[in-house]
Structure 1
């Protein structure tokens, strides 16, 4: 009976949820910056509050919604830090734009000092993110068994 389960629907429901969350984003006409984007320029650009709201004429896709959601954490921070979060969000999916892994590696290879300073290192935030990552890994292991 469902009342005896820790998660409603049990493991099958958890696996379904996990798989839905890994579905690739629908980008429509939106794209991530090109692999050769000027990253130094992005260190000086600040994420505006308007990045959290729908823009006129912008398609309502899974990517635009996720991008706005991510932007809430990065208003007032550098566009480079925001791009890092967008890349991570894409790389957690089953598939991603072809250049995303190379852009992510380039971002960290060329601007790790900036990112370490720009990203939140509050112990509580770090702990919550690590816990979420650990839960994700555990769910993946369970799904494989």
Structure 2
């Protein structure tokens, strides 16, 4: 058991967090600015063929009411509600859009692009995004 813990600790040291890919509230579309950044990510992955990329989507209350001005102070919806399911699904759509773009446009093996479950985050500083980790 101790060896397993040591391996897990060692794995954490090797993880590299990259800047996240931001998304417009309520959107899963990839724009030109994101494409430029994803080109750099694709180059990194091509230069490191044994490295995988973890795509970790984050949805916020901003996604439920984009542009209303109330989204920055909004709380997360109740667990199990339709609004929560909407946020979770949107996060997955964003991660899938990134995975599909990297695989289709840059020929990155889809098996190297792992999608985590969507995390929900509230707060004025929280923005819709997909976090990236090598």
From the two aligned structures, give the one with the greater helix fraction. Answer: 1
**Which protein has the bigger strand share?**
2
Computing the radius of gyration from Cα coordinates, the structure with the larger value is 1
| Common fold by TM > 0.5 | no
Q: TM-score, normalised by structure 1?
A: 0.27
Higher relative contact order (CA 8 A, sep 6+): 2
